[in-house]
Every structure is written in structure tokens, then in C-alpha cells.
Structure 1
Amino acid sequence: MIQLIRKYKSVLLFILTFLGVYLVLSFLYAQYLNIDFSESYYPDYITHRVAEQSEWLIDKMGYSSIIEPHDKEPSMKLFVEGVFVARVVEGCNAISVIILFASFVLAFFQGWGKTFSFVFIGSVLVYGINILRIAILSIGLYAYPEYKTMLHDIVFPGIIYGLVVFLWVFWVSRFKKQKS
């Protein structure tokens, strides 16, 4: 058994680090979601800011947009040209994706400076691309409502997860080069 552990030490370390970081960050995020932001930032601060930033970007792209709190669920309604096109819910704020991204990168730790710089830069990139994704998706839902399922369930998740996989591959390839 000890030989087996020694043989797969790096794999076990990766898995334990990934799971440990993922569970801790997910727990902390769950605690954050229990905070009542309803007075100022509904449904929570980050989701509210994502909705505001998406609204701003849609306006900059030449479309009129408005957000307002949803009266029946914890989300923000997003309107493009007066048409209700989307709900910005907690799952739209990219934090769960950033937690997954950071957990993977931290499992391939390369020193404090490099690792945390990459986690920070990658997280900002994922967050920014997510805002762009919501804005373009909302405009797409306004212009092509018949493609709602394809746009929301296939194309736009592919963008955010594709970016995360690209960043992971980049990080692992740098990790391998430094090990050699």
C-alpha cells in the first residue's frame, strides 16, 4: 500500500489539493450567499454588479437595456429594447466557475507569486468574459429568440468553460516546462 501511495504521490497530492481548495472556497462562497444583501444589492452583491455591468455593456453596444429586481425569485430581470430577455441569477455571476478554475490552478502550485498572480489574472479574465458573454447572449436572445436553447445552453456556456480549459492547459504546459 505504501509503495502504491509513493508511486502515485503526485496524483494523490493533486486530487487532495484540488478537492480541499474547492471545498473550502465553495463553503466560503455558500457562507457569502447567506448574507442578506436585499436592501442595496439584490439578490447578492456580485450578481447585482454582474447585472449592472452587463446592462452597461449592452448599452455601449448600441442597445437600450434595463435591469430590475425580479419580484418572484432572487434574480435580476434584464430587458433589451424593452423586451424581457433574461434573468441574471447567482449562477450567472461566474463565481462558481472561478472557484473551479482557482482550485485546479492551485493544485498545480508553482510558488506563491506565480500561482496567485495567475489565479488573479485568470479570475479577472473569466469575470470579464462572463460580462461580455451575458451582454452578447442577451442581445442574441432579443434578436433571435427562436435560438434561445442553443444560445443559452450550448454556445455561451461553451465560451466560459472553453476559456477556463484554455487557461488550465496554458497553466499546465507552463508547469510541465518548469518541471523539466
Structure 2
Amino acid sequence: MKNIFQQHKVFFIFLIKFLLCYLVVTIIYSIYLNQFHTQRNAVDGITHFVAEQTKNTLVFFGADCEIIKHEFEPSYKVIYNSNYLARIVEGCNSVSVIILFTTFIFAFSNRFIATFLYIFLGSILIFILNIFRIAMLTTGLYKYPEYGTFLHDILFPLVIYGVVFLLWILWVIRFSLNKKQNG
């Protein structure tokens, strides 16, 4: 058994770092979210910010859009050209994707500053991409309502997770090259 741990030491270190980081960051985010569960239909600040930025993005590109707090659930209604097309809930704010991204990068890290900068810049990219994703999804739902399920459940998750995957690959290649050059 000891030989297995010695042979796969790098993998086990990665796994432990990944699980610990994921657990810690998820607990912190859960504590943040729990403060909103005590209020009826309260929406967390990050989701509110995403909703506002989605509206601003759509308006910037000439759309008639407004965001209205949902009266019965913790979400925002997206009103596009006077049509209630979508709602923005906590799961739409990209934080869970950023947590997954961050955890993987941290687990594959070896230098603090490079890791911190990559996580910071990658998280900003994911966050901004997510706002554009919601804006494009809203426009797509308006123009092509028959493809709503495809757009929401397949195309746009594929895009955002595809970008995260590419960022991971870029990090691993960069990390691997540094490891070979330094080792």
C-alpha cells in the first residue's frame, strides 16, 4: 500500500489540495449565501450584480431590457422587448464555475504569485463571459424560442465550461513546462 502512495505521490497531492480547497471555498460561499436565506426571496449581492450587468450589456447593444426582482422567489426577471424571457438565479452568477476553476488551478500550483494572478484573471474572464452568456441567451430566447432548451442546457454551458477547460489546459501546459525547465 505504501508503494502505491509513493508511486502516485503527485496525484495524491493534487487530489488532497483539490478536495481541501474545494471544501474550504464551498463552505465560505455557503456561509455567504446562508445570510440571504433568512430573508424572504432575498437575492445575494453577486447575483444582483450579474443581473444588473446583464441588463447593462443588453441595453449597451441596443436592446430594450429591464431587470425586475421576482416577487415569489430569490431571482430576477429578465424583461426583454416587453417579454419576460428568463430569470437570473444564484446558479447563474458563475461563482460555482469559478470555484471549480480556482480549485483545479490551486491543486496544480507551485508558485503563489503566478497562481494568484492566473486565478484572479481567469475568474474575471469567466465572470465577464458569463454576463455575455446570459445576455446572448436572453437574445437567443427572444429570437429563437424553439431552441431555448438547447441554448440554455447545451450550447451556453458548453461555451463556458469549454473556456474553463481551455484555461485549465493552458495552466497545466504552462505549469508542466515550468516544471520541466526548473526540474
Q: Deviations over 1:2-47 (max 9, x none)?
A: 11111111000001110110111011100000113998x9411000
Q: Deviations over 1:38-72 (max 9, x none)?
A: 98x94110000000000000011111101111111
Distance 1:36 1:9 in 2: 41
1:147 aligns with 2:147: yes
Distance 1:139 1:36 in 2: 30
1:81 aligns with 2:81: yes
Q: Deviations over 1:105-154 (max 9, x none)?
A: 00011311000000000000000000000001101111111110010001
Q: Deviations over 1:67-98 (max 9, x none)?
A: 11111111100011110111100000000000
User: Equivalent residues in 2 for 1:75-114 (5 A)?
Assistant: 75-114=75-114
| Partner residue, 2:172 | 172
Which ranges in structure 1 are unaligned for 5 or more consecutive residues?
Answer: none
Distance 2:136 2:94 in 1: 15
Distance 2:146 2:111 in 1: 49
| Partner residue, 1:43 | 43
Distance 1:42 1:125 in 2: 27
TM-score normalised to the size of structure 2? Answer: 0.94
Equivalent residues, number: 179
Distance 2:106 2:20 in 1: 10
| Partner residue, 1:121 | 121
RMSD: 1.5
| Partner residue, 2:136 | 136
Give 2:106's aligned amino acid. Answer: L
Which ranges in structure 2 are unaligned for 5 or more consecutive residues?
Answer: none
Q: Tell me which moved more, 27-36 or 122-131.
A: 27-36
Matched-pair contact (CA < 8 Å) for 1:37–1:45: no
Distance 1:140 1:28 in 2: 34
SS in 2 for 1:67: strand
Q: Percent identity?
A: 45
Give 1:140's aligned amino acid. Answer: G
CA gap 1:152/1:163 in 2 versus in 1, 3 angstroms: same
